[in-house]
Amino acid sequence: MNPFTFPRWANKTRQLAGVVIGVAPVYLTALVWYGFSPKTTDAGYQPKQPVAYSHALHAGQLGIDCRYCHNTVDRAAHAASPPTETCMNCHARVRKDSELLAPIRQSAETGAPVQWAKVHDLPDYVYFNHSAHVTRGVGCVSCHGRVDRMAEVAQLESLSMGWCLDCHRNPAPHLRPPAEATNMSWQAPSPTFGAEFKKANNINPPEDCSACHR
Amino acid sequence: MAMAQSPFDLAPQGENAFARITHNVARVAEVSKPPRGWYIAFGIALSLLSVFGVSIGWLFWQGIGIFGNMNPVFWAMPIVNFVFWVGIGHAGTLISAILYLLRQNWRTAINRFAEAMTIFAVICAGIFPGLHVGRPWLPYWMFPLPNQMSMWPQFRSPLEWDVFAVGTYFTVSTLFWYMGMIPDFGTFRDRSTTKVRKMVYGLLAMGWRGSSRQWHRYERAYLILAALATPLVLSVHSVVSFDFATAQLPGWHATIFPPYFVAGAIFGGFAMVVTLAVPARQFFGLKRIITVGHLELMAKIILATGMMVGYAYSMEFFIAWYGGNDYEMFTFFNRALGPYAWSYWCMIFCNVVSPQVFWSKKMRTNPWVILGVGVLVNIGMWFERFVIVITSLSRDFLPSSWGYYKPTFWDFSLLAGSFGLFFTLFLLFCRYLPMVAMAEVKAFHPSAHGHGDEHH
């Protein structure tokens, strides 16, 4: 009787098992590290908007300030999406027959708001206050990127909690005079500007849970 | 009687003592039908397991509001059950590691299923912290995993030390248990009559041939694991006791807690071993291997550790008086005479009074008395944790915040369900795995020492 339960090639599985045990944890770690990261799953979100509105044209080429449309950003927690009337301030005269603006005209006629898609959407258990950031010297560009170069807005950053904390723990590189908050191309006059500004204005971002989760 | 036809009532077959030991143990897994008692027990265990499943499902659906936890008793039955099960899980490693290093050869008859019991108890224990965290779908937050929130567990909290202590204990116990079974899996494989059994036990045996080199390495590895596991026996329940001892609450804030908890854990663990051993040897005809002598030794350990636990109870009272702290003194009066006095005296009766019968040789050599005391001690040890957690929390420094905690139906169904999980795993283990460490029993059999005859 053959005393062996398994055929000879079964010995090969031992080496194979060694390789699997060595490689699998590395592979799984890498997979989760990159695959489950909000940088992979959340950054790059670019929903289709109901109107082909170009930030690159309006904010970039024409140089309209962010606050012309998002007018609550320095006074309220929420940065408002503009009502159709804001569009019509210009488009009642400018390109008033354009095919692309048909939904805007329709909205103005019926009073039904345009259903803009929210791009930067934080979870409901996070209380983010735009005015607290903008008036203390965090520019739009720090979180939203060069919106003035985007034809269609995409989310560039991960907006994860760790990403928020990165800045709350080390805010200096992201600070600027509040008057320059909406300036997309502002450059710090000196490498130590942020640290000096932080000290002068006593900027100490909170890191406790209840700062954002109330 | 139909029971008389059970193959387990027959004397084991074999030419010599070694063959009879093998036959005695291996037939449990080899007979086509286990004894009727096994089916009845397994049916009950499965029903309780389904109660566990339904309770956990309802908990996930409804949230932890289904528990009786209230202000001020925020820690209640889930923690009581956790500490109870972790405590049970201490006897296995004590038997397999400390008694091994102390050359207590009698341990070989009981170490395998004490280790199995340990692992299943730790599985039951591990479920409860996960269930009571509030968001039971996020229990992995207990582990220090890098995450998008840049958040880490609170490393200064003993609750986090628990994660490591229990996790290490479970890992080492499982390795110890599995490695010890390898030679016996080899035996099972070689005795297999069907292809499937041969393959499954063959895989589990990992190519065990019983060569002297394999035995040499096996013994070395066993010694190393025993040395690794020994400090764990003492550390795990010490860390569990820190959950309470590092708090400021009267009745918890005591330096005696680590040794008191470890003694209690060994006490409760041995009680569970005898609770399982007495029916198991009865059902499966293992009385020749797990003898009354073994049970008697365990009864002595239960008596000794029971006295240690009783000492700790009285020392808590002494220190409360000697320390002169009003709150501490009130807490202990409240334990013995307050609204939860029933649980306190239940604990004293089960843990301190009932083991005293073991002073009598007649009592400690009667398996059914041992079983009865074992069950009582299990109940008593559950009440010990109940007393510690509930009485201290329900009446602390501020009388205006006092309350009376009442467990809900779901608190009890989770406790009963965890017994279902425990017994389901244990009964499956009895049926399919080598319940006694055959190779180790043989090593200490008189005929292994050159005496030739088997009639020692």
Task: Check A162 against B150: CB less than 8 A apart.
Answer: yes
A161 touches chain B (CB under 8 A): yes
Q: Which residues of A touch B198 (CB under 8 A)?
A: 5
Which residue among A5, A6, A161 sits closest to B150, beta carbon to beta carbon? Answer: A161
Assess: ipTM above 0.90: no
The band of A13, judged by pLDDT with boundaries at 50, 70 and 90, is confident
Give the span between the Cα atoms of B32 and B269, in whole angstroms. Answer: 32
B199 touches chain A (CB under 8 A): yes
Give the span between the Cα atoms of B433 and B119, in whole angstroms. Answer: 14
The predicted structure's pLDDT at residue B367: 92
Contacts of B191 (CB under 8 A, 6+ apart): B22, B26, B30
Report yes or no on B158 lying in a domain.
yes
- Specify the number of domains making up chain B: 1
B445 touches chain A (CB under 8 A): no
Report yes or no on B148 lying in a domain.
no
Report yes or no on B9 lying in a domain.
yes
Which residue among B148, B150, B202 sits closest to A6, beta carbon to beta carbon? Answer: B202
Q: Give residue limits of the domains in chain A.
A: 13-41, 73-79+119-211
Task: Check A165 against B150: CB less than 8 A apart.
Answer: yes
Helices (runs of H) and strands (runs of E) counted in chain B: 18, 0
- Helix crossing, B409-432 with B36-62: angle to 10°? 140
Tell the residue number behind the tokens 């009073």, with chain if given.
A111
Q: Within a 10 A sphere around the Cβ of B323, how many other Cβ atoms? A: 11
- The candidate with the shortest Cα–Cα distance to B189, out of B179, B199, B177, is B199
The predicted structure's pLDDT at residue A51: 92
Q: Residue A2 pLDDT > 80, yes or no?
A: no
Q: What does the pLDDT profile of chain B (456 residues) look like in tens digits? A: 344 456 676 777 777 778 888 888 888 888 888 888 889 999 999 999 999 999 999 999 998 899 999 989 998 999 999 999 999 988 888 888 888 888 888 888 888 888 999 999 999 999 999 888 878 788 888 899 888 888 899 999 999 999 999 999 999 999 999 999 999 999 999 888 888 998 999 999 988 988 999 999 999 999 999 888 888 888 999 999 999 999 999 999 999 999 999 999 999 999 999 999 998 888 888 888 888 988 999 999 999 999 999 999 999 999 999 999 999 999 999 999 999 999 999 999 999 999 999 999 999 999 999 999 999 999 999 999 999 999 999 998 989 999 999 999 999 999 999 999 999 999 999 989 988 888 888 887 777 766 555 444
Task: Check B149 against A162: CB less than 8 A apart.
Answer: yes
Residue B116, SS3 per DSSP: helix
Task: Check A166 against B149: CB less than 8 A apart.
Answer: no
The predicted structure's pLDDT at residue B258: 93
Report yes or no on B386 lying in a domain.
yes
Q: Residue A135 pLDDT > 90, yes or no?
A: yes
DSSP string of B140-191?
A: GGGS----TT-----TTSHHHHHHHHHHHHHHHHHHHHHHHHHHHHHHHHHH
A38 touches chain B (CB under 8 A): yes
Report yes or no on B453 lying in a domain.
no
Which residue among A5, A6, A37 sits closest to B148, beta carbon to beta carbon? Answer: A37
The nearest CA of chain A is from the CA of B397 a distance in Å of 28
The predicted structure's pLDDT at residue A78: 93
Rounded (5°) CA angle A21-A22-A26:
105
The band of A46, judged by pLDDT with boundaries at 50, 70 and 90, is very high
The predicted structure's pLDDT at residue A71: 93
**Could you tell me the CATH number of the domain that includes residue B329?**
1.20.1630.10
Task: Check A162 against B198: CB less than 8 A apart.
Answer: no
Q: How many CA atoms does the CB half-sphere of B217 hold within 13 Å?
A: 9
User: Domain of B437?
Assistant: 2-143+154-448
Per residue in A23-43, pLDDT (tens digit) is: 999 999 999 989 988 888 889
Report yes or no on B456 lying in a domain.
no
Contacts of A82 (CB under 8 A, 6+ apart): A69, A70, A71
Mutate to test the interface with A, among B145, B150, B185 (most CBs of A within 10 A): B150
- The candidate with the shortest Cα–Cα distance to A159, out of A141, A144, A176, is A144
Among chain A residues, CA nearest to B186: A5
The nearest CA of chain B is from the CA of A184 a distance in Å of 27
A145 touches chain B (CB under 8 A): no
**Tokens standing for residue B34:** 């286990």
Task: Check B148 against A160: CB less than 8 A apart.
Answer: yes
